Structure 1
Amino acid sequence: MMLQALIDEFENEVKSTRRLLQAVPASHIGFKPSPVSWSMGELAQHIATIYYWYVGTLTMDAYDVSADKLERGPADDIHATRDLFEANVEKARAALHSLKEEDLQVQWVMKSGDRTILGPFPRGIVVRSFLFNHIYHHRGEMIVYLRSTGNPVPGLYGPTYEESNFTQAK
């Protein structure tokens, strides 16, 4: 029951993430709101990369991020990032569908070499907190980046300000 709810949420949120990444313009890919922030391209690439982490999270009890090498392509190429996102979604979907309900209770840790970064936690908690909530957090950042550069924000949970004003003007 919990697994099916996670799968349903995943599928719904993939659509929202796709809409958001499609709204990232190549013309503002280098925008950074502060010197210590990622560029818009780096943030988009990070969002696409999180979907890759589903594989290690869902198929390994101890995921060593330092041993996992993902070819990301250049962060200043939004088309490459969108392709990365689509490829990672397919991998994530396959990993999610490979689970059984009881797999959500298995203890999971994230490591970097010998150092534990996250956990141990039941895998189901990790899916919610580390994977889903992590994406939502960075999508929120991307919305701020888009608005800061004067770009329209797509509706993820209903119409946005831009969509509402456009509709009212007609």
Structure 2
Amino acid sequence: MDIIKELLTELESEGAITRKMLALVPEDRFDWAPHPKSMTLKQLATHLAEIPSWYALAVDQDELDFNEGAYQPTSIANSAELLALFEKSYQAGKAALQRLPEAALDKPWVMRGGDAVYLDTTKYGMVRHAFAQTIHHRAQLGVFLRLLDIPIPGSYGPSADEMG
């Protein structure tokens, strides 16, 4: 099995689903959140749009330390910038996976905030984590959109909105 090829196929599939969801985010509701502890719609959508670039983090680095300030969320102002951010992240992630040698998949990879370790895995584990984060946050976005009465597209089959 060619693991890199499989990851690229999964990226393409998940990217298409994510692209459909992000295209529905209404910029006039960017500041809306369903609960005080929730991210705003803009924060959630921006985070989701950035996740494909995490594959480059997995490939090009062995660690991400949030306390070192190397990671800052991208600021967007409108829907066009949100979709452009996703496309940029997607292309960066795809390019990273294409240059990832399969032999490097089992190299250690750590996500931390100083001494606090959030994820201690391998480069492959970080790639899988990014896929899981995409699916998780896309599902959150679906709930946000549903609460705003925006019809939801199907992810792995038709949605209730598409079924009529």
TM-score greater than 0.5 by the shorter chain? yes
Distance 1:61 1:122, change over 3 A: same
Partner Cα distance (1:27, 1:159) in 2: 27
Q: CA RMSD for the aligned pairs?
A: 1.7
Asked if 2 retains the 8 angstrom alpha-carbon contact of 1:54 and 1:95, the reply is: yes
Listed as ranges, the matches of 1:48-59 within 5 Å are 48-59=49-60
Change in CA separation of 1:102 and 1:12 when aligned onto 2, cut-off 3 Å: same
Question: 1: distance between equivalents of 2:49 and 2:70?
Answer: 15
Separation (CA, whole Å) in 1 of partners of 2:141 and 2:20: 12
1:127 is aligned to 2:127: yes
Q: 1:36 maps to which residue?
A: 37
Equivalent residue number for residue 15 of structure 1: 16
Higher mean C-alpha displacement, 48-57 vs 139-148: 48-57
Correspondence for 1:78: 79
Instruction: Percent identity, please.
Output: 32
What residue number does 2:144 align with? Answer: 145
**Counterparts of 2:90 and 2:109, CA distance in 1:** 21
For structure 1, list consecutive stretches of 5 or more residues without a partner in the other structure: 166-170
User: Distance in 2 between the 1:67 and 1:89 partners?
Assistant: 22
- Match of 1:105, SS state, is coil
Alignment size in residue pairs? 162
How far 1:80 moved relative to its partner? 1.4
Q: Secondary structure at the match of 1:153?
A: coil
1:30 deviation in Å?
A: 2.1
Query: Please, what TM-score do these two structures have when normalized by structure 2?
Result: 0.90
AA of the residue aligned to 1:122: T
| Structure 2: tracts of 5 or more residues without a match | none
CA distance in 1, matches of 2:132, 2:50: 14
Specify the structure having the higher radius of gyration (Cα).
1
Give the CA deviation at 1:115. Answer: 4.5
